Amino acid sequence: MSKIVKLKKGFDLKLVGKAPLEFLQVAAATTFAIKPSDFPGIQRPKVLVNEGDTVKAGTPILMDKAMEQVIYASPVSGEIVEIKRGDKRKLLEIKILADATVTHEKSGALDLGQDRATLAGKLAASGVWPNVIQRPFGIVANPADNPKAIFVSGFDTHPLAPEVPFLLQGEERYFQAGIDALSKLTTGKVHLNVDGSKAVPAIFSGIKNAQVNQFSGPHPAGNVGTQIHHLDPINKGDVAWTVSPFGVAQIGKFVLEGIYDASKVIALTGSEMSQKGYVKTYTGANVSTLLGGIAQPETLRIISGNVLTGEKVEKDGYLGFYHNQVTVIPEGKYEEFLGWLKPSATKLSFHKAIGMFSFLKSGEFKVDTNTHGEERPFVVSGVFEKVMPMDILPTYLFKAIVTEDFDEMEELGLYEVIEEDVALCEFVDPSKNELQELVRHGIELLMYN
Amino acid sequence: MKLLQNLFDGMKPNFEKGGKWEKFHTLYEGHRTIAFAPDLITKSKGAQIKDATDLKRVMITVVIAMIPALLFGILNIGHQHFIATGGEATFLDKAIFGALTVLPTLIVSYAVGLATEFTFCVIRNHPISEGYLVTGMLIALVMPPFIPLWQVALATIFAVVIGKEVFGGTGMNILNVAMTARAFLYFAYPAQISGDLVWTYLGDKTAVDGFSGATALAVAYNSSIDGTPVVEALNSHNAALGADYSFMSMFMGWIPGSIGETSTLMALIGAVILVATGVASWKIIVGGFSGAYAMGLVMNALQVNEFMAMPAHYHLVMGGLAFGVVFMATDPVSAAQTEVGKWIYGILIGVLTVIIRVTNPAYPEGIMLAVLFMNVVAPLIDHYVVKANKTRRLQRATV
């Protein structure tokens, strides 16, 4: 039974700099990197290659000693040029210089008739497995688990997010194969959730082996965490998995062709992005060539991902493993005379406090990275509740994490949220608290205690 | 503005680590962030952009919402003065008299309160929080027209220190700070904040013959003793002086009382500002008024004395109910914080106010104690609302 869910709570951030649906011609990136910090659950990362080694796309280059069956593979073929470490030899990046044409490790098509464990083992050893994320906690899934269901969100409501059907053009066959493979990994259902406010895109309409549900409403309607809450919520002891649409297609390609293909389409967005649109590249691409000729990059914030959940990268930094978007906006390092009092209709705000007239403006907003105020204790109540379309009391959950009260954290719903689910709370908070960081802190407390 | 920025920049080294005024760093930051929204940027991980609204803007919204009540209060104090002392007065006379009476109280409230706050921020090395912007105004508005300034200062220090700072400062207090100040005075110096003599400021003049300074609530209470119907007693009160306590005068606020509390209309204008801007919870405001009205109807049904028989809607315009419900009960820190809890909290404030008014001879005004009592009870209400949420999620697991 497919479900139709209409959500009211939330907030759509309408920003300047959406990518038009067209491919741009940009110089291909030459270096690529895998960063252990992209995988929050990784505990003891171990590098499997040395500087100077040559690798193919799909060659294992990293693993987590706490979960050895899952490997993290090279996205391209080429040479390992640098293994960058930080303080106390903490592994930061493994950089690969790509060949002109990418060659793949090949293992032949995967027979989906095999038993669950064998299938999961083969996927885990292929490089595609890190696409499978476990809820609770938002970490790379353990192939030995039997999840109660697998969830795929077929649309992205984040600010300036790419159009998912556009990302998957020509991948229809692989997407179906990926869904087929996932359906073998769970005894429960595979849920594919699509945007209920639009016609179901062709790639999702005839899908088999999955339940197609419709979600509509403002952001975070497209967040898989929101969808899980309304379909089959996670309680203590439950394990569910989530996979992005790109991940599903990548798994499908491994099933049908036996290769780890890390090529992906990403969107170049943001008010300061010189050329907006879509480009084809590979996971972990160096962003510098994608940006084109941006003048004065030091006055700009280059973000791998979107403005709510993304991560700042340097101008020669690398695209995050899970990201399919690069956003460039101005840095906001300026003081503004009586900025807290000045009326404005051009500054984006969820609130309508005196002088904030952005709710009257229907167009798009240009935003920068200024925090518009200092951090304060929680004072205003009822704000987070307006942007949280789940039966969760965010303020109480946050306070439970601040006080490190384990029982409360569990009972108030920390199993149901990860960073992206509270990103909107973090944005609207007039007290400017770092709520995504707080939630990850709470999750780590629950995981490692 | 470059000039001001340079001035701050010039002072900056003194306040930085190793500077001669290092300890007062928080005061420097506090003032600079008032003049200029700070040049802070988001961290490299997490939300890369933030909402343009901060706590300063939220707080100033509340202050702006109170300005109609303040201005009306100033005018009304002059108005009441000239009624009581006889004598012709123009609008300007009244306004000037009122301003000269009220401004010292307001200035003392802000000066003493901010000084206390700054002292704590320096000792604790906390950033200066905006909460006192609102509290300072509220303390002044709930004071009688004339009260010794040292009492205002003492009450302010008590409220800020015992009501707020001992709990950890803004956002951590259990009781509404301004109500704490008023309650302190009420119990410590009742002569200056209760009875019939303090609500109209006579200055150095004497009252004209036949003038009674009793408030509407006191009139209503007395009528239940001597048995005259309340509405009649209110309508005839000081009627010879042209200042009755009719429903309309009480709604408009042309009656004696604390500085900002008399006008229901001004409180409602404030309520519209607070609700339209989303700063205060409409649930608490609606709950407060409907709770008082419903309890008024219950009293009508019982009708043991004349006060109980008073039409229920009179309760909404008498005393400080409207002011208290709109500006005090909605303080987000001391109110209930869950959405269901806000309904319960608001309704009970209204109910309790009327019960205290009608049944307790010692406290003719119930809103102060009702708000303080419900501040204490609010965490308990929230506890049960949160518990219901937890139970819902637990039950979900077994389905």
Residue A428: per-residue pLDDT? 95
Which of A303, A341, A411 faces B60 most closely, judged by CB atoms?
Answer: A341
Place of tokens 């995504």: A436
Task: Inform me whether the pLDDT recorded for A114 exceeds 70.
Answer: yes
Q: Which residues contact A300 (CB under 8 A, 6 or more apart)?
A: A272, A294, A328, A329, A330, A331
CA distance A245 to A179: 10
Task: Inform me whether the pLDDT recorded for B263 exceeds 70.
Answer: yes
- Tell me the per-residue pLDDT of A356-368, one tens digit each, with 9 for 90 and over: 888 888 889 999 9
Mean pLDDT, residues B290-304 taken together: 93
- Say whether B170 and A340 touch across the interface (CB within 8 A): no
Which of B55, B276, B338 faces A379 most closely, judged by CB atoms?
Answer: B55
Task: Inform me whether the pLDDT recorded for B128 exceeds 90.
Answer: no
- Say whether A340 and B46 touch across the interface (CB within 8 A): no
CA distance A230 to A250: 27
Mean pLDDT, residues A177-188 taken together: 94
B386: closest CA of chain A, how far (Å) = 8
CA distance B67 to A38: 51
A309: DSSP letter: T
Cβ-Cβ contacts under 8 Å, B274 against chain A: none
- Tell me the per-residue pLDDT of B171-185, one tens digit each, with 9 for 90 and over: 889 999 999 999 999
Mean pLDDT, residues B147-161 taken together: 95
Average pLDDT of chain A to the nearest whole number: 92
> Which H helix or E strand runs over A126?
none
Residue A56: per-residue pLDDT? 93
A409 touches chain B (CB under 8 A): no
CB-based contacts of B237-242 (< 8 A; 24+ apart in sequence):
B237/B212, B238/B83, B238/B210, B238/B211, B238/B212, B240/B210, B241/B83, B241/B84, B241/B86, B241/B208, B241/B210, B241/B211, B242/B83
- Say whether B54 and A373 touch across the interface (CB within 8 A): yes
Residue A330: per-residue pLDDT? 94
- Cβ(B181)–Cβ(B132) below 8 Å: no
HEC letters along A363-402? CCECCCCECCCCCCCCCCCCHHHHCCCCCCCHHHHHHHHH
Lowest-pLDDT range of A404-418, B4-18, B165-179 = B4-18
- Say whether B39 and A310 touch across the interface (CB within 8 A): no
- Tell me the per-residue pLDDT of A238-259, one tens digit each, with 9 for 90 and over: 999 999 999 999 999 999 999 9
B52 touches chain A (CB under 8 A): yes
- Cβ(B274)–Cβ(B61) below 8 Å: yes
Place of tokens 């010189």: A274
Task: Inform me whether the pLDDT recorded for A429 exceeds 80.
Answer: yes
Q: Name which residue leads in pLDDT, B281 or B219.
A: B281
Using CA coordinates, name the residue in chain B closest to A331: B41
Residue B399: per-residue pLDDT? 53
CA distance B69 to B140: 11
Cβ count near A23 (within 10 Å): 12
Cβ-Cβ contacts under 8 Å, B339 against chain A: 382, 385
3-state helix, strand, coil in chain B (%, to 5): 70, 0, 30
B48: DSSP letter: S
- Tell me the per-residue pLDDT of A46-82, one tens digit each, with 9 for 90 and over: 999 999 999 999 999 999 999 999 999 999 999 999 9
DSSP of A267-302:
EEESTT-SS-EEEEEETTBBSHHHH-S-S-GGGEEE
Q: Retrieve residue A17's tokens.
A: 């700099």
Residue type, A168: L
Task: Inform me whether the pLDDT recorded for B351 exceeds 60.
Answer: yes
CA distance B150 to B147: 8
Cβ-Cβ contacts under 8 Å, B58 against chain A: 351, 353, 379-380, 430
B2 touches chain A (CB under 8 A): no
- Cβ(B156)–Cβ(B139) below 8 Å: yes
**For testing contact with chain B, the best of A13, A15, A372 (most B CBs within 10 A):** A372
A residues 410-449 closer than 8 Å to B (CB)? 411-413, 419, 423, 426-432, 434-437
pLDDT band at B397 (very low <50, low <70, confident <90, very high): low
Cβ-Cβ contacts under 8 Å, A344 against chain B: 52
Mean pLDDT, residues B247-254 taken together: 92
- Cβ(A10)–Cβ(A390) below 8 Å: no
Separation of CA B180 from chain center: 10
Task: Inform me whether the pLDDT recorded for A21 exceeds 80.
Answer: yes
- Say whether A351 and B51 touch across the interface (CB within 8 A): yes
Residue A49: per-residue pLDDT? 94
- Cβ(B145)–Cβ(B46) below 8 Å: no
B86: closest CA of chain A, how far (Å) = 42
Task: Inform me whether the pLDDT recorded for A140 exceeds 90.
Answer: yes
A237: closest CA of chain B, how far (Å) = 10
Task: Inform me whether the pLDDT recorded for B131 exceeds 90.
Answer: no
Mean pLDDT, residues A117-124 taken together: 93
pLDDT band at B349 (very low <50, low <70, confident <90, very high): very high
Average pLDDT of chain B to the nearest whole number: 90
- Cβ(B299)–Cβ(B350) below 8 Å: no
Residue A443: per-residue pLDDT? 95
Taking the whole predicted model, whether its pTM rises above 0.95 is answered as no
Mean pLDDT, residues B318-337 taken together: 93
B residues 307-366 closer than 8 Å to A (CB)? 332-333, 335, 337-339, 342
Q: Name which residue leads in pLDDT, A311 or A290.
A: A311
Residue B364: per-residue pLDDT? 67
pLDDT band at B398 (very low <50, low <70, confident <90, very high): low
Residue B192: per-residue pLDDT? 85
- How far is it between the farthest Cα atoms of chain B? 78
